[in-house]
Structure 1
């Protein structure tokens, strides 16, 4: 236990030292990168993970984090609303890889949130009021009939048709439909063949009966 706590405080010390090194002169950048790599390597180990878990589970540490959470929140808000913060996020969301990773990360949460809202009576009433508002209806019709929306819709459809995922799903659906159609044709062919054989047997029986009577 003592070893775990010692490792945990070592990690925290390295993080603090690394942050300080990051703000130092350019000559200390190499030392900062080395410290950062050391911290990451330690955290990835089983002992590092266990140490952080033990520290975060400590009641005194949780109380300290709770007390400082408002300060952290204010610091984050100040950073995000600053001109540098806005520029940083604007540039970040221009990166396709980041946008894809971010979308995948929040997709499930957004889905669950939407499901919860759809079941909420107050939200349902609000949506009905919005959709039944004549002004909203006119605005929606105006948007749907606009050239900009039609161009956007055409572009979206074209991108969907050219999507590898859509092509794969469409190919799968066509193959499945072809297999089902082939199975139905074989079944119908078997039924028709059975009917023809039955008719031939009946005809032969009638001819045999006629010969016996004569």
Structure 2
């Protein structure tokens, strides 16, 4: 790989420089794989729509105005996406990954025509959860599962990791239709698809990158939760 000077005078590896016809041919080759991946994602989504579901018992969560049933969290919609935000008791700054992920969603009106909502639940007490929401400028509605088995039953116990769960409501009965976690949430993200377009990508050690590409320990380039609080009032 060739090198090129950076703004600080050091040298950094860069992609090979070629004529436009060569670049176009390489891009067309990649496009074939991208289109195949898109078709596969369509097929996966079709299979997801055919998943069975499981009926849930009644759950009571806590919201800004007090106790609320899981069915009422739908706020009249039939479909609900729930992000289970990791929570560390007593911490000023909560999980940076969860904070960064949820900060992406500032306008959720696009879900309304689909009869759906997207909310956050966390194991933190509701007053602390709402204070954190305000601190980092989060726009979603938050609910607490501190006094409910709902979080644990859905895969997010106290001290546990994040989860995404999807539900369907028929009257007052709620059904669990889908679950994912870990890298399964990346398709819901705006940040990683953008970063993956960059010539250097995520710059994490586990990724398959050309020799000389900048690489860092996993998570080391993720913005800390404090970064999102800078713009909480903006």
TM-score under structure 1 length normalisation: 0.22
Q: Which has the higher contact order (CA 8 A, sep 6+)?
A: 2
TM-score under structure 2 length normalisation: 0.21
Give 1 or 2 for the bigger CA radius of gyration.
Answer: 1
Q: Which has the higher strand share?
A: 2
Q: Which has the higher helix share?
A: 1
